[in-house]
Chain A
Amino acid sequence: MLHTINKSPFSGDSFDTCIRFLQPGDPVLFIENGVYAVQQGNRFSEALAGVMKNNPVYALRPDLEARGISNLTEGVATVDYDGFVDLVEEHQVNSWL
C-alpha cells in the first residue's frame, strides 16, 4: 500500500499518525506541503530515518523544487510525476489528507 502525505508535518498530524500504521515495505510518498518533512536536519528527520529502516520513502521533485528544498534527509528518493504514476499503478493508495 502506497501512503501519500500532503500536509506539512509542522501544521498537522498526518506524518506522525501515518507512520504508526505503516506495514513493513509500504512505500511512503511526500507531495505538496508534505515534502517539508524530508528537509535535512528538521524535527522529523530522526523519525523519518526510523521509517526508512523498513519502508522506502519518496518525495515529489517538482514540489521540493517549488519550495526550495534541496538538502534531503539521507535515504529519501525523489520521483517526478511519471514516477508518482508508477507508484500509484503498483500499489493501492492510502492518502492521509
Chain B
Amino acid sequence: MENENVKKIMHVLRHAPHGTIYSYEGLEMILIMAAYEQDLSVVFIGDGVYAIKKNQDTAGIGIKGFAKTFMALDGYDVEKLYVDRVSLEERGLSENDLVVDVEVLDSAAIGALMNGQDVIIHH
C-alpha cells in the first residue's frame, strides 16, 4: 500500500571500514532508520566497498568488526544493496568477495536511483 509517510532514503557508504568511524556510524544509522519502516537503500561507492569485504578479522587491531552486521540488514527488510561496478573492479574485487548479496550497477544506473530519492545521506 502506498504510504505518503514513507520516504525513499539512500545511504551512500564511501569510506573504508576501519581507520575512521564513517562506515560504522553509517551502518548504525541504517539499522536505526530501518526501525521506522522507510524505503531504505544502501549504495557502496569507492572505499565503501571494503566495508562488506569477506574475511575481515579485526582481532589483531583490537576493535570489533562489523562486516557481518551488514548481513543482518535483510532481517530489517533493508534489501536494496547496490555496489558501484567501477569501485569494485578498480579494487580488484568481485561480487564473490562480498559478505552480502548486492546488485552491481554502473554509475549511470546509480545516478538515476539517486535522482529518485527523497533524501541521500553520505557516510
- Using a CB–CB cutoff of 8 Å, the interface residues on chain A facing chain B are 1, 13, 17, 20-23, 26, 92-97
* Contact call A21/B122, Cβ cutoff below 8 A: no
Number of CB contacts from chain A to chain B under 8 A: 34
Q: Give the B interface residue count (CB, 8 A).
A: 15
Can you sample 28 A-B contacts with CB below 8 Å? A1-B114, A1-B115, A13-B14, A13-B46, A17-B45, A17-B46, A20-B86, A20-B111, A21-B45, A21-B110, A21-B111, A21-B114, A22-B111, A23-B111, A23-B112, A23-B114, A23-B115, A26-B115, A92-B115, A92-B117, A92-B119, A92-B120, A93-B120, A94-B120, A95-B120, A95-B122, A96-B122, A97-B122
| Contact string against A for B residues 40-79, beta-carbon threshold 8 Å, 1 for contact and 0 otherwise | 0000011000000000000000000000000000000000
Within 8 A of A (CB), among B61-120: 86, 107, 110-112, 114-115, 117-120
Residues of B within 8 A of A23 (CB): 111-112, 114-115
Q: How far is the CB of B42 from chain A (nearest CB, A)?
A: 15
